[in-house]
């Protein structure tokens, strides 16, 4: 069933509402123009049509101008259907008034990012273990990207996979939603959700396909099935 996010702007002001909004997300698409078969805008369009409720624009190879132009397009495609976040680039997120940013341990401290973004925006932080997860929650992250769950070739410095059991450990230590990332594919995604991930994140498993819509739908369906059973 298609969830209606028309209330997302009024919802985001409140921590509890942001928290429950993010916990409802089953599948989370991160873009990668280097890996994409059909291009970022096509991938975003197909994923949103399939029911994906959150898109993260992750672009490492384009100029700021190109990124701003593309980010405006992605924001338009997402509309009220999906949350739109920008990876790393707070300037780009602010320029297009995105719904938020996703940052890493080496990026700007989250407290500084919060000052720039404002209280109503979503800030996600990548963490790799329980200690970083507790810190992230304390410093005001709205959700965690936890990874890399499995080995992945998509992010060169991702390190070895931490394994799905670490999702459960992190989940037991914090209350904000967990988006599990890294090496997730159709074969291994079930165990990720069974270990407590609130949402699955995939790049290559989706954007390397010639049918992004079908692959996105596959992931959404499997997460919904497992969540409804538990
Ligand atoms: N961050 P794929 S792993 C962007 O561990 C990213 O923080 C990671 O791509 C982390 O789904 C990763 O193709 C790449 O493995 C995920």
| pLDDT tens-place string over residues 82-128 | 999 999 999 999 999 999 999 999 999 999 999 999 999 999 999 99
pLDDT at position 1 is 31
Q: Out of 152, 167, 188, give the residue to mutate to test ligand 1, the one with the largest number of ligand atoms within 8 Å of its CB.
A: 152
Is residue 183 within 8 A of residue 189, CB to CB? The reply is no
Around Cβ 27, how many Cβ atoms within 10 Å?
28
Taking each helix axis from N to C end, the angle separating 64-78 and 40-50, rounded to the nearest 10 degrees, works out to 20
pLDDT digits (tens, 9 = 90+) for 146-155: 999 999 999 9
What pTM was estimated for this model as a whole? 0.93
pLDDT digits (tens, 9 = 90+) for 180-198: 999 999 999 999 999 999 9
The arithmetic mean of pLDDT across residues 140-151, rounded, is: 97
pLDDT at position 174 is 97
**Tokens matching residue 42:** 């096509």
Backbone angle region of 161, left / alpha / beta, with phi > 0 → left and psi within -120 to 50 → alpha = beta
**DSSP secondary structure code for residue 79 in this structure:** T
Check if 126 has its Cβ closer than 6 Å to any atom of ligand 1: yes
pLDDT at position 119 is 95
Distance (angstroms) between ligand 1 centre and the Cα of 52 equals: 18
Q: Are strands 143-146 and 100-103 parallel, antiparallel or unpaired?
A: unpaired
pLDDT at position 14 is 67
- Before 148, cis peptide (omega within 30)? yes
**DSSP secondary structure code for residue 12 in this structure:** T
Distance (angstroms) between ligand 1 centre and the Cα of 10 equals: 31
pLDDT at position 16 is 79
What is the value of ipTM here, to two decimals? Answer: 0.99
């Amino acid at each position: 069933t298609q969830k209606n996010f028309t209330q997302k702007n009024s919802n985001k002001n409140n921590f509890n509402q942001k928290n429950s909004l993010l916990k409802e997300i089953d599948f989370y698409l991160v873009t990668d123009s280097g890996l994409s078969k059909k291009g970022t805008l096509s991938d975003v369009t197909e994923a949103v049509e399939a029911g994906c409720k959150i898109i993260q624009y992750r672009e490492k190879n384009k100029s700021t101008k190109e990124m701003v132009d593309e980010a405006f397009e992605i924001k338009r495609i997402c509309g009220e259907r999906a949350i739109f976040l920008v990876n790393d680039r707070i300037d780009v997120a602010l320029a297009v008034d995105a719904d938020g940013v996703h940052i890493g341990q080496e990026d700007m401290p989250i407290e500084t990012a919060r000052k720039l973004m404002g209280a109503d925006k979503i800030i996600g932080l990548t963490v790799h273990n329980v200690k970083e997860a507790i810190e992230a929650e304390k410093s005001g992250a709205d959700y965690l990207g936890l990874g890399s769950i499995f080995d992945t070739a998509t992010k060169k410095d991702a390190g070895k996979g931490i394994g799905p059991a670490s999702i459960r450990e992190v989940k037991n230590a914090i209350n904000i939603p967990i988006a599990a990332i890294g090496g997730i594919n159709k074969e291994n995604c079930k165990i990720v959700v069974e270990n407590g991930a609130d949402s699955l994140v995939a790049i290559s498993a989706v954007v390397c396909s010639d049918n992004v819509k079908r692959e996105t739908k596959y992931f959404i369906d499997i997460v919904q099935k497992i969540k409804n059973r538990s």
